Amino acid sequence: MQDVRDALYVGQRSDGTLTRRPMSPHLQVYRFRLSMFLSIANRAAGVAAAGGSALGLCWISAAAKGPKSFSKVQKVTGNPLGQMLLAGWALALVYHFVAGIRHLVWDSGYRFSKKEINEDGPVAVGVTVGTTLALVAGILGVAICRSRKKAS
Amino acid sequence: MSNLKKPHVTVMRSQLSRARGLGSGQAGVGHWWAERASAVALVPLSGWFVIQVFRLAGASQPEVAKWGARPLNTTMMLSLVILTFYHTQLGLQVIIDDYVHGKAHLPAGLLMKGIVFLLGLFGTVSVLKLALAGSSRGRIAAG
């Protein structure tokens, strides 16, 4: 049996003669646009956010297990490398959140024209970067203040 | 290669069977709605979780255990964990549908569902253990 997609590739003209349908152009023929990057970035951010959530389970399960396991997790969250990982997770979550809101807006029938999509793209980037920086700085700041208070 | 240049029919199917057999997958609307509904539910849950992260940043294990033992926090955490991994499964299924073709499609989807299911269950059990162990420990300490 041949691939069924092949059946769709051959079309019939109104006079009955067969014709090969045009193939849809692929990635490399398009000029780079921000919207195409934001689209695939949303998918990548979703996967990254899911991976981060899987790692985030370590935190809640360690808290459930006891102080010993929890201190192990705290070694990771207190380490600059671990904090970079957490910041990356935050970036993925925030971007997936922002892009998800855009999708919900589009699904409701708003901001879906080419002009509006091109206008909103840079705004989405700005909101993502700003929110992520504010979140990471805020959480890190609160954590540092609290550990200092405990030490004193 | 000359075959490719000249249009010809290689599949013995009538136009009617093509129209019938290659229509919609029928089950897509439910998946689409489930993805959107879980996304909408995750908006306030994520907001709540960000506030909790600020409250718990730098907290010790007993503090987290005390926080996790509150019924409201347990309810919100369970909703968050279950919906997060449900939404993850829906999203990863779309990615597998897009990129994995042929015989590998079904096992890839099942494997992904199995892993995401176990992760979600692990999170659920952890939240419940934190909730129930915390309250009993409090009782022992009080008594």
CATH numbers and ranges of domains, chain B? 26-142 (1.20.1300.10)
Whether residue B137 has pLDDT greater than 90: no
Dump pLDDT digits (tens) for A17-35.
Answer: 888 888 777 777 888 899 9
Q: Do A60 and B15 touch (CB under 8 A)?
A: no
Question: Which among B11, B50, B130 has the least Cβ separation from residue A6?
Answer: B11
pLDDT by residue (tens digit) across B73-117? 999 999 999 999 999 999 999 999 999 988 999 999 999 999 999
Q: How many CB pairs under 8 A join A and B?
A: 106
Q: Which of A56-70, B18-32, B120-134 has the weakest average pLDDT?
A: B18-32
Nearest CA in chain A to B63: A63
Chain A's closest residue to B51, CA to CA, is: A139
Res A15: pLDDT: 87
Higher-pLDDT residue of A13, A108:
A108
Residue type, A33: R
The number of angstroms, rounded, from the C-alpha of A1 to the middle of its chain's C-alpha atoms is 39
Residue B134: strand, helix, or coil: helix
**Are A93 and B125 contacting, i.e. CB atoms less than 8 angstroms apart?**
no
Task: Give the Cβ contact number of residue B125 at 10 Å.
Answer: 15
Q: What is the DSSP letter of B13?
A: -
Candidate from A75-79, A90-94, B26-30, B117-121 with smallest mean pLDDT: B26-30
Burial class (CB in 10 A: 0-12, 13-18, 19+), B82: middle
Of A57, A67, A5, the C-alpha closest to B124 is: A57
Mean per-residue pLDDT of chain B: 86
What pLDDT score was predicted for residue A12?
80
Distance, CA of B74 to CA of B64 (rounded, Å): 12
Chain B positions touching A101 (Cβ under 8 A) are: 43
Domains of chain A: 30-151 (1.20.1300.10)
Binned at pLDDT 50, 70 and 90, residue A1 comes out as very low
CA distance A11 to A22: 10
Residue B119's alpha-carbon distances to A50, A110, A137, B97, in angstroms, are 10, 36, 29, 21
Q: Is the pLDDT of residue A77 over 50?
A: yes
Paired residues of A12 in beta bridges: A18
The fraction of chain B above a pLDDT of 90, given in percent, is 70
Residue % of chain A over a pLDDT of 90: 73
Alpha-helix residue ranges (DSSP H) falling in chain A: 4-9, 34-65, 67-78, 80-107, 114-151
CB contact under 8 A, B22 and A4: yes
Q: Output the six-digit token pair for B61.
A: 């294990």
Burial A34-64 (b: 16+ CB within 10 A, else e): eeeebeebbeebbebbbebbbebbbbbbbbb
> Which of A10, A20, A57 is opposite residue B126, by nearest beta carbon?
A57
Closest CA to A77 of B54, B65, B58: B58
Residue B1: which pLDDT band, with cuts at 50, 70 and 90?
very low
Across the interface, whether the CB atoms of B7 and A66 are under 8 A apart is answered no
pLDDT digits (tens, 9 = 90+) for A90-148: 999 999 999 999 999 999 999 999 999 999 999 999 999 999 999 999 999 999 998 88
CA of B68 vs chain A CAs: smallest distance (Å): 9
Band (pLDDT 50/70/90 cuts) for residue B143 is very low
Percent of chain B, pLDDT > 70? 78
Q: Which of A53, A73, A139 to mutate to test the interface with B (most CBs of B within 10 A)?
A: A53
